[in-house]
């Protein structure tokens, strides 16, 4: 909710100009505060009017509802609505409610009728709802250790780390765990191959898993997938999807070491036009598999 900044009273010995400015700002502050209070009460009424009958009944049963209405506390009202929608009831035992929300979150998957934007909003809403009641997601020590490894920090670096830097890494590790979970919980029929591609890249030494929810949202939004089936003699042997190509081209500035081809031979100065990496020829790219039947010429005439 908006907060008005109260004018600072001038110190003793200030000139008349500073005093006049303060009195003018104070007068305007009182007017703005009155307008804000009336505006919030009006907004409260609008929000209340949009609630269904069942929602109104549940809100009315809350102990602080009358106080919220009197003060025009829209923030508390919206928070209560969010909790009711997510079935985080006030009357339940708080530990039971939190554990149920955690269970719902970890079992949540993108629904078929939910587009990416709605999936993102629901995902974020569940996280915010859990955190508002003291729960946390993505705070396991392994997540933090993984982020240290990503930034190539030694144990000595970690031990000498200042508290504010440590807090920053905790936040980054948490954000990355949410980003990875966002991708894993997306529709498997559409984005399952993206997860497989990222895992295969990791096995090759490229940690391309996303670091933030914004990056994960952008990747899912721009991921190109073709449901076209492969011919019988080529099925499951090479990609008919554009998702991996999109992802690799978006990371052309990757500074990882050259990668050998499927035969194990390394050509450090040879670029692959398929994955855009150095170290192998395109026909030996380890990320694109082509069976012999796919590259064979037409059968010889009898």
Same-domain check for residues 95 and 81 = no
The verdict on residue 165 lying in a domain is no
Structural domain total, the chain: 2
Q: Would 13 be classed as within a structural domain?
A: yes
Least confident segment among 14-18, 64-68, 159-163, 276-280: 276-280
Whether 79 and 99 share a structural domain: no
- For residues 82 and 122, the answer to whether their CB atoms sit within 8 Å is no
- On whether both 8 and 51 belong to a single domain, the answer is yes
Q: What's the DSSP call for residue 269?
A: E
Using 50, 70 and 90 to split pLDDT, how confident is the model at 225?
low
Bigger pLDDT: 295 vs 17? 17
Same domain, 6 and 56: yes
C-alpha span between 179 and 216 (Å, rounded) = 5
Asked if residue 251 has pLDDT above 60, the reply is no
Residue scoring higher pLDDT (302 or 164): 164
User: Is residue 27 domain-shared with residue 93, that is, in the same domain?
Assistant: no
For residue 242, pLDDT beyond 80:
no
Is 51 part of a structural domain of the chain? yes
What value does the mean pLDDT take over residues 153-167? 87
Q: Does 117 reside within a domain?
A: yes
Q: Are residues 55 and 98 in the same domain?
A: no
Q: Are residues 55 and 125 in the same domain?
A: no
* Pick from 254, 259, 258: nearest CA to 286: 259
Q: Determine the structural domain holding residue 60 and report its residue range.
A: 1-85
Helices in the chain by DSSP H: which ranges? 16-49, 53-60, 65-71, 74-85, 94-107, 116-132, 141-150, 155-159, 163-184, 188-203, 213-222, 243-249, 292-295
Same-domain status, 17 and 39: yes
Domain shared by 71 and 131, yes or no: no
Neighbours of 128 (CB within 10 A): 12
Give every CB contact of residue 215 below 8 A, 6+ residues apart in sequence.
179
For residue 231, is pLDDT > 70? no
pLDDT tens figures, 92-118: 677 877 888 888 888 889 988 888 888
181 domain residue, yes or no: no
Query: Residue 183: pLDDT above 70?
Result: yes
pLDDT at 292: 41
The backbone region for 72, taken as left when phi is positive above 0, alpha when psi lies in -120 to 50, beta otherwise, is: left
- 58 falls in which pLDDT band (50, 70, 90)? confident
| Rg over CA atoms, the chain | 28
Percentage with pLDDT > 70 across the chain: 79
Nearest alpha carbon to residue 119 among 68, 207, 181: 181
- Judgement on whether residues 106 and 39 belong to the same structural domain of the protein: no
In a domain, residue 245? The reply is no
- Same structural domain, 22 and 78: yes
The answer to whether residue 214 sits within a structural domain is no
Q: How confident is the model at residue 297 (pLDDT cuts 50, 70, 90)?
A: very low
Tokens of 185: 């919980």
Q: How far apart are CA 126 and CA 101, in angstroms?
A: 8
Residues 97 and 75 placed together within one structural domain of the fold: no
| Residue 97, in any domain of the structure | yes
């Amino acid at each position: 909710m908006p907060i008005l900044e109260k004018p600072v009273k001038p110190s003793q010995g200030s000139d008349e100009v500073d005093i006049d400015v303060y009195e003018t700002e104070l007068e305007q502050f009182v007017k703005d505060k009155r307008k804000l209070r009336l505006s919030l009460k009006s907004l409260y009424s609008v929000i209340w009017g949009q609630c269904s009958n069942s929602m109104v009944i549940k809100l009315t049963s809350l102990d602080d509802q009358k106080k919220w209405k009197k003060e025009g506390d829209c923030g508390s009202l919206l928070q209560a609505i969010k909790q009711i929608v997510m079935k985080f009831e006030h009357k339940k035992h708080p530990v039971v409610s939190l554990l149920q929300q955690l269970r719902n979150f970890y079992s949540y998957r993108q629904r078929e009728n939910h587009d990416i934007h709605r999936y993102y909003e629901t995902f974020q809403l569940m996280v915010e709802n859990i955190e508002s009641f003291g729960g946390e997601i993505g705070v396991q020590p392994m997540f933090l250790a993984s982020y240290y490894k990503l930034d190539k920090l030694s144990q000595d670096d970690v031990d000498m780390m200042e508290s504010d830097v440590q807090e920053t890494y905790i936040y980054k590790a948490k954000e990355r765990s949410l980003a990875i979970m966002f991708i894993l919980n997306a529709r498997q029929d559409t984005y399952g191959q993206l997860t497989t591609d990222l895992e295969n890249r990791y096995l090759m030494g490229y940690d391309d898993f996303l670091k933030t929810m914004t990056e994960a949202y952008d990747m899912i939004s721009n991921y190109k997938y073709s449901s076209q089936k492969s011919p019988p003699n080529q099925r499951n042997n090479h990609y008919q999807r554009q998702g991996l190509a999109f992802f690799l081209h978006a990371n052309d500035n990757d500074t990882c070491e050259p990668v050998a081809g499927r035969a194990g031979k390394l050509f450090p100065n040879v670029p692959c036009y398929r994955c855009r990496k150095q170290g192998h020829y395109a026909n030996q790219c380890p990320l694109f598999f082509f069976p012999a039947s796919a590259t064979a010429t037409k059968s010889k005439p009898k």
